[in-house]
Structure 1
Amino acid sequence: MKQFNEKLAKWINATPSNDAGINNIQVPGQVEHLVWQNRYKEPSAYELDFVQQLIQAFSNGVTELNDLVLSLNQQGFRNDAGELWTVENFSTEMQRLGYE
């Protein structure tokens, strides 16, 4: 099973083609359905760890952003730069990881 959408990786920062739909026409019954339609790459170890830390926080009943940031810091999980979490850098990281 593919872990990311290979076509999406090619489309990021791509210039528009003059040949609309070239190599992208879907034939009914022959469409390859991907589990991860919107990923352009496999998640990094940091991203997978981040998910686990978020799951842990939510499992402990955290529902507010300030409490989530506090929980991540208490769990000892740092951002990709190795810094403590703040509301600001958490929001920035969510935008970055959401591929805007």
Structure 2
Amino acid sequence: MVEYNEKLMQWINCKPSTEAGVGNIQTPGVVEHLVWQNRYREPSEYEQSLIDHLIHAFADGAVELDAVVTSLNTQGLLNEGGEKWTSENFTFEMARLGY
């Protein structure tokens, strides 16, 4: 199974065509459905660790931003810069990662 959509890499920062039918990621009617349609690469170790810690936070009942941030810090996960999580840097990181 492919873990990411290999066709998306070439489309990062690409300008879409203004002509109909030109510049499609796939040929209409001939679409290979992938499990990870929106990935252009596999998650990094950092991203996978963040995902695992978020799953744990949600499983423990964290649904509000402050509770999620507190849970990540309680679990000992630091952000990619090696800092403790805050509401601000968590919000920035989710926007940066596209989640």
TM interval, short-chain normalised: 0.7 to 0.9
Aligned partner of 1:25: which letter? T
Secondary structure in 1 matching 2:83? coil
- Structure 1 runs (4+) greater than 3 angstroms displaced: 15-19, 21-24
Secondary structure in 2 matching 1:31? coil
Match of 1:37 in 2: 37
Aligned partners of 1:67, 1:16: CA distance in 2, in Å? 40
Aligned partners of 1:35, 1:73: CA distance in 2, in Å? 31
Aligned partners of 2:24, 2:36: CA distance in 1, in Å? 22
Q: TM-score, normalised by structure 2?
A: 0.85
Aligned partners of 1:54, 1:18: CA distance in 2, in Å? 40
Match of 2:86 in 1: 86
* Match status 1:6 vs 2:14: no
Give unmatched runs, 5+ long, in structure 1: none
* Match status 1:96 vs 2:85: no
Secondary structure in 1 matching 2:66? helix
TM-superposed deviation, 1:25: 2.0
TM-superposed deviation, 1:85: 0.2
* Match status 1:63 vs 2:63: yes
CA contact (8 A) 2:4 2:42 kept: yes
* Match status 1:47 vs 2:51: no
Aligned partners of 1:26, 1:12: CA distance in 2, in Å? 20
Percent pairwise identity: 55
Q: TM-score, normalised by structure 1?
A: 0.84
RMSD: 2.0
TM-superposed deviation, 1:17: 5.1
Aligned partners of 1:95, 1:46: CA distance in 2, in Å? 16
How many residue pairs get matched?
Answer: 97
